[in-house]
Amino acid sequence: MTISLTHRVPLFASLSHDAVHNLEETLSQVELPSGTLVFREGEPGECFYILLEGQVEIVKAHGLEGARRLAIRGPGEFIGEMGLLVKDGLRTATVISLTPVQLLKITQADFDRLLQQWPDLAREMLRELSFRLRETDNILIRDLQEKNRELAKAYEDLKAAQAQIIQKEMLERELQMARKIQKSILPRTLPRPSGIDFGARMEPARAVGGDFFDIIPLNRDNYGIVIGDISDKGVPAAIFMALTRSLLRAKASSAVSPRKVLQRVNRLLLEMNEEGMFATVIYGVLNRERKEFIYARAGHEPPLLFTADGERILPPFSPGQPLGLFANPLIDEQTLPVPPAGMLLLYTDGAVDAVDPDGNFFGLENLVKTILTNLDHSAQSLCDQVLNEIQNHQGDNSQADDITLVGIHSE
């Protein structure tokens, strides 16, 4: 160590040439490689060091989750002095070499002797400690300010999240209320006329759906039967569904042909439909004495009809278009005689379009197979079994579309 090197230490700047020479003779040097733990927080402080070459980092809570670097010290600065100055004599932080370092080691005895011989050293050390305290205070203030900003942002995020939760809960309550209202719109009980057995099931894909059905007693012998599917899902579809069903109920009559009923409903929907929604519908009149079903089909799936021994009766087919889109939609009107002990099923496309986890559709073939397996059941039992088979086919896959079934069993 040379005198010029020692004079680069601010702590010794006020010392004379002889004093510096004396220090060179009495103080020991320590050389450490990079990455060395010079001393650890909480250990007894028996000496402090003056850094002659290299850099060290001062770390609080080293090795713990809340570890934080307080400072980096370089040549001319001292470290570890608090272990000699504080009452308990414990290290207040951990020091690790960032590079190879050369240190002057000053023991408690060395420190006491230096202060006795050169009291001005105490003033120099206090000046440096005051500077470090201001530096530490500034760091802490900046940290606190940053923490306050983070807390303020977290608080605002929390308020926004809470508002979203409240809004979501309100929406869920509204959807549950809409579901109850929708259920109240649909038939709660089905008519039980002599010679005819009715059944129905509806399973929305969401809280509320766009499918609908109705069985309307028109007079002693005639029953209006409706099944429909709205083009959208959720609340918009549910509202348009309620509108379409109400119009159908208002226009249904045994004295008016099903085709004319759908045409009248279509005109009203065009006047009220600014969103371009539409409905596929079957509306028909079932006569229980003649066992005859006269229906009009507006773009909907044709009905499925089976005799008691399982023969499928295919109705005549002509094109049909949905309600709510065209001024004069094509409407397919047919007459079906329902054979004794026969089964008639009306359904929406959600029944055949149900998909399993592998992407396979339930399909018309499986629907027909399920009907044939349950031909001797009641109409309600048939609808229950069909829905059960569809749900088994879906497995864990989510339901993509509303499913509605209306069964008619001739006794």
DSSP string, 200-218: EEEE-SSSS-SEEEEEEE-
Lay out the sheet containing 403-410: strands in order across: 196-203, 403-410, 343-347, 304-306, 312-313
For the chain, domains (ranges, CATH) are: 3-118 (2.60.120.10), 189-410 (3.60.40.10)
| CA 48 to the chain's CA centroid | 57
Query: pLDDT tier at 5 (50, 70, 90 boundaries)?
Result: very low
Query: pLDDT tier at 137 (50, 70, 90 boundaries)?
Result: low
Contact 196, 186 (CB under 8 A): no
pLDDT tens profile 92-105: 899 999 999 999 88
Instruction: State the Cα–Cα distance between residues 284 and 282, nearest whole angstrom.
Output: 7
Question: Position of tokens 């059944």?
Answer: 199
Instruction: State the Cα–Cα distance between residues 337 and 294, nearest whole angstrom.
Output: 9
Q: What angle do CA 229, 233, 236 make, to 5 degrees?
A: 100
pTM tops 0.85? no
Confidence check: pLDDT of 3 > 50: no
Contact 275, 245 (CB under 8 A): no
Q: What is the pLDDT of residue 1?
A: 45
Q: What is the pLDDT of residue 179?
A: 65
**Where are the alpha helices (H) located in 99-231, listed in sequence order?**
108-117, 120-185
Question: Position of tokens 């939609």?
Answer: 329
Query: pLDDT tier at 259 (50, 70, 90 boundaries)?
Result: very high
Nearest residue to 196 via CA among 294, 335, 98, 343: 343
Instruction: State the Cα–Cα distance between residues 306 and 125, nearest whole angstrom.
Output: 104
Q: What is the pLDDT of residue 187?
A: 85
Confidence check: pLDDT of 216 > 50: yes
pLDDT tens profile 14-31: 677 777 777 777 778 899
- Mean pLDDT (the chain) is 87
Q: What is the pLDDT of residue 304?
A: 97
Contact 214, 223 (CB under 8 A): no
Asked which of 102-116, 118-132, 372-386 is least confident by mean pLDDT, the reply is 118-132
Confidence check: pLDDT of 287 > 90: yes
Beta-carbon count within 10 A of 105 CB: 15
Q: What is the pLDDT of residue 31?
A: 93
Burial class (CB in 10 A: 0-12, 13-18, 19+), 375: middle
User: Would you say how long the chain is, in residues?
Assistant: 411
